[in-house]
Amino acid sequence: MHQRPEANEYNEFQKGYIAHVPAEGDLREILREQTETLTGLFGSLSEEQGNYRYAPEKWSIKELIGHLTDNDRIMSYRLLCFARGEEALLPGYEEKGYVAAGNFGRFTLAEMVQHYRIVRQSTQALLDSLEDDAWTRAGRFGGVQMTVRAQAALIIGHELHHLQVLKERYLH
């Protein structure tokens, strides 16, 4: 139940993110390990690196962390709604607008890492609290239907995608 979802549990848009998730392993443990990896990586960076952008119109590392934190909050809320049987269509969100409104540059890198860690701990607690039958419940957002398990994998895969971008474009 805590494994990577089947292809019929999400739509084509999420496929790229979910493909990043290991085929084997408990999603709860993968998330726990991912949190430690990312907080360690982010915590090893200098304040100067936190403000780095690989191109003028691209996010800084602090903004990237802010995006990951906001995304985790939003996706965890969706996961909670799906797990509890919510039938209403949940809204999507515009990531660029959220990052701009977040004004993440006003925080130190250490503060951004702490925000990320706190939100991730909340997501972890939510996943750890789910009973087995909740993982296959489905819900809808922005016209997309997916299961709790797929939503958990999407949280992980989205972060793995951004970790790859971080390594390739920011920390080369």
pLDDT tens digits, one per residue of 4-40: 999 999 998 899 999 999 999 999 999 999 999 999 9
pLDDT at 2 over 90: no
Query: Would you list the DSSP string of 25-55?
Result: S-HHHHHHHHHHHHHHHHHTS-HHHHT--SS
pLDDT digits (tens, 9 = 90+) for 51-101: 999 999 999 999 999 999 999 999 999 999 999 999 999 999 999 999 999
- C-beta of residue 149 within 8 angstroms of C-beta of residue 5: yes
Does the structural domain 7-170 have CATH classification 1.20.120.450?
yes
Give 88's contacts (C-beta < 8 A, 6+ positions apart). Answer: 81
Q: Can you give the pLDDT at residue 1?
A: 65
Exposed (0-12), middle (13-18) or buried (19+): which is 78, by Cβ within 10 Å?
A: buried
Reported in sequence order, the residue ranges of the chain that DSSP labels E, i.e. its strands, are: 138-141, 144-147
pLDDT, tens digit, 9 for 90 and up, residues 105-156: 999 999 999 999 999 999 999 999 999 999 999 999 988 899 999 999 999 9
More confident residue, 50 or 143: 50
pTM beyond 0.75: the answer is yes
